Structure 1
């Protein structure tokens, strides 16, 4: 699915707060509130998708990355990229914006690829800042429990990080059997 299709699929998501197309199963009927505050400076930068709940708007995407940068207006620029159908597939990108939800300690964002439509983006948990001042991993969800993403700063997380992410996703109440691991290019 091209990013253009992704964008057209996100309009109903933003309007209804539900899944677009054929919604996937609810993988967590009791999505928890975010566990920790999120400092924007530590969250900005490039993230590699380690795994996700499959969503119609990401069908077949591999090599998924998300780049977050601060805009002059205080919002966040979001650039999502993927290779369609496999790592040798067509490269596609979508650019959007995000804003921090007031009173959320930075852990809840609203993301839009079409204004004025925004979707929920909750940083449910994240690692402690590394030597570069960045969070090394994050687990992202939203209130319906149908979407889940695990993000890391490296395309190929080591076995310890992979095991920790699986354990933490389970602790947060998500059904691990619904997770689809994302293939990333070799580093």
Structure 2
């Protein structure tokens, strides 16, 4: 086998490992079961998040999920950047990692890279709130069906996330107020 061919195989194996690792979940996170994707569809408001570069400076952040014919979800994330005075929208596709009854998905916004999306706390009665983890503990979102959430509920969800090892002291509250620039 030529050195170039060996290098190509090594690069391919490395990229596969990287892409697969991006969809993993933190070992303390257990995705919800009896997940009902049809009840999860619609618009969710970002209440709190751990800050990261692709949402930095965004307010009024929402995530909208729509069913696709293949059983996956169309994902549209939208937020307003007050510094640039512009809306930022990104659309991707989510597919279930363990079947549609488990809240563990792989979301792809930019091919070939996918990210883990793990619903590990959920209001199963009304689907009014959810807590989401990424592939590691640097990614955490608290979502609600309304732009605000009762403080007692928010504190309860923060305690649950802290118990799972997330740096909840670094959570930022997402402003869902009037859209203004500056």
TM-score where L is the length of structure 2: 0.77
| C-alpha displacement of 1:124 | 1.1
CA distance in 1 between partners of 2:61 and 2:20 (Å) = 25
| C-alpha displacement of 1:43 | 1.0
CA distance in 1 between partners of 2:53 and 2:63 (Å) = 18
Larger Rg: 2
Partner of 1:183: 175
Is 1:172 matched up with 2:150? Answer: no
CA distance in 1 between partners of 2:114 and 2:106 (Å) = 5
Partner of 1:8: none
Q: Which moved more, 1:114-123 or 1:90-99?
A: 114-123
Partner of 2:48: 51
Alpha carbons 1:31, 1:145 under 8 Å: kept: no
Partner of 1:128: 124
- Structure 2 counterpart SS, 1:129: coil
Is 1:61 matched up with 2:58? Answer: yes
TM-score where L is the length of structure 1: 0.75
Q: How many residues align?
A: 159
Unaligned runs of 5+ in 2: 1-17
Q: Which moved more, 1:99-108 or 1:48-57?
A: 99-108
**CA RMSD in angstroms, aligned pairs only:** 2.4
Partner of 1:6: none
Partner of 2:142: 150
Alpha carbons 1:79, 1:96 under 8 Å: kept: yes
Alpha carbons 1:137, 1:152 under 8 Å: kept: yes
- Structure 1 counterpart SS, 2:102: coil
Unaligned runs of 5+ in 1: 1-13, 19-28
